[in-house]
Amino acid sequence: MTPREVLALCREREIQAIDLRFMDFPGTQKHFTIPAKILVEKSFEDGFGFDGSSMRGWKAINESDMLVVPQPETAFVDPFMSNTLVMTCNIQDPITREDYAKDPRNVARKAESYMRSTKIADVANFGPEAEFFIFDDVRFDQNEHECYYHVDSIEGQWNRGKPGSGPNAGYKIRYKEGYFPVPPADTLQDVRTEMMLALMDCGVDVEAQHHEVATGGQCEIDMKYAPLLKTADNLLRYKYIVKNVAAKHGKTATFMPKPLWNDNGSGLHLHMSLWKDDKPLFAGSRYGGLSEMGMYAMGGILKHAAALFAFCCPTTNSYKRLIAGYEAPINLTYSYRNRSAAIRIPVHSPHPENKRFEFRCPDSSSNPYLAMSAVLMAMLDGIQNKIDPGHPLEKDIYDLKPDELAELPAVPGSLEDALQALRDDHKFLLVGDVFTEDVIDTWIWYKTSQEVAALRERPHPYEFAMYYDI
């Protein structure tokens, strides 16, 4: 939509409040709201001032004034709040009017701009498969003398023998057997359908929704592919709608990668392809039906994969998902069809426009603007430098012998390892000023000081089980 069309929509729908949203540096959506009468056509150029000093990883208190500039093409009517229109905003410096380097959306815009400047492609399409859990109850705390968490789901296997106020019907989903069950075992069908319809009403194209593998309410709703920036905007909308529909039903949704031990975690599988002049560039006669360019793009991702993990798997919890036996990739390889590889080439359709590959490592705790921008920069580096992805893996990784497994490059074992890899390998991200040294340094500093160090210094509950009587 244009600014005029946004204003016309406000009049047509009797909008009384404008919700201005943006994403902070680590990846949490923020907002503030203005009366609809304040929004005029000039607002889309002048923006609105706010204090950025309390945003994680952003401005210091002595230089805190910033601008949010609403983007009309992101407008949608909020399905949960009364008479409210939502718009995603870009962040600018109020004095220079320059786009703020640490605004994640700005990084994504620069990544797309740099891609176009290379003449390699004019569109990078991303199709995300975002997994999440819906729980009925969650409690957790951490202080000086105790640490615990407790999550519960009516369909969790652990509730098979639980007495309640009424009869226990016994339809509980067994561990790792939650893929595609029908109701009544699948208790969340109507909730997911409501989420799917709300997404579509808010302008997000959806391809499918279903229960996922894990017990205890693991779900997936697949969005149709779209260009990088639009996909990242849609993922913010996706999380907002999923969480609020769950809350409407008295439930809670989480995109935490591994909330349950001993069952599958939640990923954000990214299906990717490059296009130019409305023609797909990854279809060809090489391995898995890929083009030479597609092979080089995979080569770039695999070469820089360890550094990419700092953005694609950016939490300490991410690495509890990346272990053998739970359908998460543990080695940096590629394969035709094989889901145990880090990169998989799907076989769903022979049509060139559907030719793509799937990067299975990322998870939904990531900041989508930064994660997808980093992946795009790795693909472009692979294409420009003709990086060979090596030999494909045709076997199931989980069935390999130890000596065979030792020959395969492994994913980072922790967030700390991924951050060190980013320190050592980030020049490909700086090309075209897409990422800056300040962005990289701030990311490493924040994740190290606020997450890695914070977890390292606190006793873990399981340590008491292992060591209390030592």
Instruction: Give 75-85 pLDDT, tens digit per residue.
Output: 999 999 999 99
| Same-domain pairing of 93 and 135 | no
CATH code (residue 291)? 3.30.590.10
**Is 366 labeled as ligand-binding?**
no
If one counts every other C-beta atom within 10 angstroms of the C-beta of residue 190, the result is: 11
117, part of any domain: no
Instruction: Give 443-463 pLDDT, tens digit per residue.
Output: 999 999 999 999 999 999 999
Q: Is the pLDDT of residue 196 over 60?
A: yes
Catalytic one among 109, 211, 269, 304? 269
**Is 272 labeled as ligand-binding?**
yes
| Same-domain pairing of 17 and 144 | no
Total tally of structural domains belonging to the chain = 2
**Is 327 labeled as ligand-binding?**
yes
Q: Output 109 or 400, whichever has higher pLDDT.
A: 109
**Is 451 a residue of the active site?**
no
CATH code (residue 35)? 3.10.20.70
Q: Is the pLDDT of residue 61 over 60?
A: no
| Same-domain pairing of 83 and 224 | no
| Same-domain pairing of 174 and 265 | yes
User: Residues 434, 438, 444, 448: what is their CA dihedral angle, to the nearest 10 degrees?
Assistant: -150
88, part of any domain: yes
| Same-domain pairing of 294 and 388 | yes
Q: Output 50 or 235, whichever has higher pLDDT.
A: 235
**DSSP string for 280-308:** ESSBSSSGGGB-HHHHHHHHHHHHTHHHH
246, part of any domain: yes
| Same-domain pairing of 160 and 50 | no
Write out the H or E segment, with its range, that includes residue 66.
strand 65-70
Rounded to the nearest integer, the mean pLDDT of the chain is 93
**DSSP string for 310-350:** HHHS-STTHHHHSSTTTT---B--EEES-TTSSEEE--S--
Q: Output 124 or 59, whichever has higher pLDDT.
A: 124
**Is 196 labeled as ligand-binding?**
no
| Same-domain pairing of 216 and 78 | no
Residue 403: the pLDDT is 79
**Is 269 a residue of the active site?**
yes
**Is 73 labeled as ligand-binding?**
no
**Is 129 labeled as ligand-binding?**
yes
Instruction: Give 398-428 pLDDT, tens digit per residue.
Output: 677 777 777 788 899 999 999 999 999 999 9
**Is 131 a residue of the active site?**
yes
| Same-domain pairing of 78 and 189 | no
Residue 267 near residue 218, CB atoms below 8 Å? no
111, part of any domain: no
Q: Which domain holds residue 20?
A: 3-100
Catalytic one among 136, 155, 186, 220? 220
347, part of any domain: yes
The overall pTM is greater than 0.85: yes
| Same-domain pairing of 226 and 329 | yes
Catalytic one among 46, 51, 424, 441? 51
**Is 141 a residue of the active site?**
no
Catalytic one among 31, 210, 249, 339? 339
**Is 131 labeled as ligand-binding?**
yes
**Of 52, 69, 100, at which residue does a domain stop?**
100
114, part of any domain: no
Catalytic one among 103, 136, 263, 358? 358
**Is 217 labeled as ligand-binding?**
no
**Is 51 a residue of the active site?**
yes
- Distance CA(168)–CA(248), nearest Å, equals 24
250, part of any domain: yes
| Same-domain pairing of 326 and 437 | yes
